[in-house]
Structure 1
Amino acid sequence: MTDPSLTPPTMSPALESPTLGTGPEEVTRASQEGKPSSLWGDARRQLVRSPVFMLSLLYLLVVTSMAVFPKLWTSQDPFNCSISQSRQPPTDGHPFGFNLLGCDYYAHAIYGARPSLSIAVVATGAVILIGGAIGLLSGFFGGWLDAILSRVTDIFLALPFLLGALVVLAMVSSRNIWTVAMVLTVLGWTVIARILRGSVIEARNLDYVQAARALGATNSRIMFKHILPNTLAPVVVYATIMLGSFVSAEATLTFLGVGLQPPSASWGVMINMHQQYFDTDPWLLLFPVGLLVGTVLSFILAGDALRDALDPKLQ
């Protein structure tokens, strides 16, 4: 009689054959059905399912196409004007009517997207480069370098953003896309520097960084290969919101008379030229204001959706 204690336990069918269900097709299917292992993969899946993000992205794509390919949206020349048509209301073929100078207002609105977005993109890119470099060096090396860079950051952070831009641009003789973007960059890099500095300080003592250092990795490799890719999420979120803030800042400075100047086609110029006609011809303000508010709001909503998608605590 066989001792029951010596009888091997019965294995389930899945365990009887170690190779069952582990072929290439099954592995591929499992990887496709499983949750992505990276934070950016999770974020992409969540953003695709977010109607707020997708609607914001669609609106921004439309505005971007207006800035890059304006002739796709209108065949009118924004500077072909006739004073006899000044402030004519919207008609067939001219959905936005005519501005104070008798120019097609719809064409002005389409061509006005380019300078606004150009300033925002140039300024945001420069802010990321300058603020990112300062924040990365300050947070990684610490010590006296961190002390100096932090005090410089505090000095620029103490400057009032709008007042500083007004004063600097008032002293500039030629105000164009590059000068406005330069002023926004000089006054706007501080927050990015602080965000990245805090993220780098938190990441530099983590296990994977210590392991890379123990394996002989250089400081530059640790910074750009290990730390920077893992600290970019808050920077991307803030940069998205900053794009909308710079679009709004350009319109504000232009409205106050120190930004872009006529005859430039800009939403800020359109608002500045026609503010006094709101009582009699409100559409002269409503059209550019609507485009401006929609663009800024889309950037903010997209940034909020990115923040939620890239926050590991919400996964």
Structure 2
Amino acid sequence: MSDRTASRGPQRDAAVDSLEADSLIQDESAEQVIAGKTPWQLARGRLYRDKITMTFLGIVALALLVGISAPILTKLGVLDPYTFHQDLIDPNTGGLPKGPAGGISLAHPLGVEPGTGRDVMSRLILGVTFSLVVATSATIIAVGLGTLLGLISGFLGHWPDFTITRLIDITLAFPQTLMLLALSGMLIDRITSFGVPAGNWSNGVYIILVLGLFGWPYIARIIRGQVLSLREREFIEAARSLGARNRRIYTKELIPNLWAPLLVYFTLLLPTYISAEAALSFLGVGIQPPTPTLGNILKYSVNYASADFTFFFFPALFIAVLVISFSLLGDGLRDAFDPKAER
């Protein structure tokens, strides 16, 4: 009997050790399962699972890469957006390109411009650069100014809130497009008087300033509403009780909690300004040829919409793809940062 018990002793000890090891593994796995994630990690996980948004994120990244590299490629001679190729157009047909589909060939994959023979693909790629520069600069001004005034209005309240809210109402009362057209002559001359070169430089600065200065009220209202909610939270009260000044509360407590709506609004406002730049160039207020933008290329192509449809189609396609990509990326980011949003 004692021999049997002694023989079972090592087996029982091994079984106990095995059970303890299994319990330790389960405890470790449980700790891994219940490990907390930050809101940014949760949003990133939802974003990675959204295949449509990731697709348009790739398109936006490609457009930004093209916009950055286009001026460099132009200087290196890889892109040739300014050279006239008179041998590629037929004077007997009013300057239409020779060959089918607007002169599409291996040397000119998207054809050439009627009347000039300039390479359409090179001009569109460089046009993306100037359109993105104008739209991005105007968006930065609008978001920056709106965020600053929204923070002050929502956090301080009282007369600063009243003053900024009335300023928002007054600014929204002016029609943006009409003001852009009405003020163009006077303000462009004033911009030139400050040392900005006349022509496309002053026109570009004018569009950036007016779009930015008329676009801030929307983001200011959004940020004001967010700050009105955040300023009553416990962490704001704790910061105040510890003697934190307003500047520290702005930079360390409020702004980190506003990155999500700011990022979403930025990606939604940018395509709006891309379309606005195209519309203003179409109306003759924006950057003018020979400097290419998507807007002035589309304006020129309308004259040949029936005779050379491909020349009209490609600029319209570029604008549509950019605007749709940024818009759907903004929608995807909004859903990723808002767990209650409908997927």
Task: Output the TM-score relative to the length of structure 1.
Answer: 0.87
Deviations 1:33-68 (A, max 9, x none): 557532221111111111111111111111112111
TM-aligned CA distance change 1:76 to 1:203, over 3 Å: closer
CA distance in 2, matches of 1:212, 1:37: 24
Which structure 1 residue ranges, 5 or more long, are not aligned?
Answer: 1-12
1:178 is aligned to 2:205: yes
Q: CA RMSD in A?
A: 2.7
Deviates more, 1:69-78 or 1:80-89: 69-78
Name the amino acid aligned to 1:194: R
Is residue 167 of structure 2 the alignment partner of residue 152 of structure 1?
A: yes
Find the aligned partners of 1:286 and 1:249 in 2 and give their Cα distance: 19
| The structure with more radius of gyration | 2
Report the Cα distance in structure 2 between the residues aligned to 1:56 and 1:36, rounded to whole angstroms: 29
- Report 1:68-217 matches (<5 A): 68-70=68-70, 75-86=78-89, 87-88=96-97, 89=102, 90-100=104-114, 101-171=116-186, 172-173=188-189, 174=199, 175-217=202-244
Aligned match of 1:50: 50
Answer yes or no: is 1:264 the counterpart of 2:267.
Answer: no
Alignment of structure 1 residues 238-257 onto 2, 5 Å: 238-257=265-284
Amino acid of the structure 2 residue aligned with 1:207: E
**Kept in 1: contact 2:171–2:214 (CA 8 A):** yes
Distance 1:34 1:104, change over 3 A: farther
CA positional deviation for 1:153: 1.2
Q: Give, in angstroms, the shift of residue 231 of structure 1.
A: 2.5
Change (3 A) 1:168 1:40: farther
Letter in 2 for 1:289: A
Shift of 1:176: 3.4
Unaligned runs of 5+ in 2: 1-16, 90-95, 190-198
Task: State whether residues 141 and 213 of structure 2, in contact with CA within 8 Å, keep that contact through their aligned partners in structure 1.
Answer: no
Conserved in 2, the CA contact under 8 Å of 1:56 and 1:301?
Answer: yes
Deviation at 1:151, TM superposition (A): 0.7
Distance 1:170 1:34, change over 3 A: farther
Report how far residue 178 of structure 1 moved.
2.2
* Count of equivalent residues: 299
Query: What's the TM-score, normalizing by structure 2?
Result: 0.80
One-letter amino acid of the structure 2 residue matched with residue 79 of structure 1: Y
Name the CA distance, whole Å, in 2 between partners of 1:22 and 1:222.
Answer: 43
Q: Which one is further off, 108-117 or 92-101? A: 92-101
Give identity over the alignment, percent. Answer: 36
